[in-house]
Structure 1
Amino acid sequence: MTRRDILTAVPTSFHADGSLDLEGSRSIFRYVAQSGNEGAFVLGTTGEFPAIDDAEFAQLVEAALADLGDAMRVVVHVGAPSAFEAVRRVHRARELGATEFAAVTPYYLPASDDALLRYYDTLSDAVGEGSLYVYAYPARTGNPVSPELLGRLAERTNIVGVKASELSLEEIAAYRAAVPDEFVIYTGADRDLVAAGGVGAQGVVSGVSSVLPKPFRALAAAADSGDSDRVAAAQADVDDIVSVIGGDMPRMKAAYRAMGVADGHCRMALDEPSADALSEIDRVIAAHR
Structure 2
Amino acid sequence: MIEQQSNLDSQAVFQQLWGWTNELRDKLEARFSIHPDPSSKDLQSYSALTGQAHGSLNTFSGPEIDWLVHSWLRDPQSGFSNMHLTVWLGSHIRVPHLAIAFGTMPQLFWFIDYVPRTDLFTDLESLDRYYEPMNQTYLNFLNDSRFQQFISKTLYMRQAQSHTSLCYNSPVTEETLATVHTVAHEFIDRWLTWIDRAEPVPADERAALTERDLNVRRQVAERDPANKFAERLFGEEFTNKLVRSLWGGDRILKSGS
Provide TM-score, normalisation by structure 2: 0.31
Structure showing the higher strand proportion among its residues = 2
Structure showing the higher helix proportion among its residues = 1
Provide TM-score, normalisation by structure 1: 0.28
